[in-house]
Amino acid sequence: MSPSRRAAFIALCKEPTDEPYSRPYMRRHGIKGSGALKSALDGLAASGYLERKRMDTRPEPTDPLMALWIRERMNRF
């Protein structure tokens, strides 16, 4: 998994949001820019890591158990 995909996936697991393209959100999670984020989200969706119930909803991890594990593990640091 590329660094931008990893950053986007961890960000969405730790802090789900309806606005992943907001500057404060991207800055908080070390995402370089909106183009990198779009590419990462598209790649994660194509790989089956993320899904959207509808196009106007937030991207969500397909495996809630993995998301919980990442959230618990990453919040320790």
CATH of domain 3-74: 1.10.10.10
Q: How confident is the model at residue 11 (pLDDT cuts 50, 70, 90)?
A: very high
DSSP letters for the chain:
--HHHHHHHHHHHHS--S-TTSHHHHHHTT---HHHHHHHHHHHHHTTSEE-SSTTS--EES-HHHHHHHHHHHTT-
State the Cα–Cα distance between residues 8 and 37, nearest whole angstrom: 7
Domain edges within the chain: 3-74
Question: Whole-prediction pTM value?
Answer: 0.86
Q: How does pLDDT run across 49-66, given as a tens digit for each residue?
A: 999 877 667 899 999 999
Report, as an integer, the average pLDDT of 11-21. 93
State the Cα–Cα distance between residues 61 and 23, nearest whole angstrom: 21
Q: How does pLDDT run across 17-46, given as a tens digit for each residue?
A: 989 999 999 999 999 999 999 999 999 999
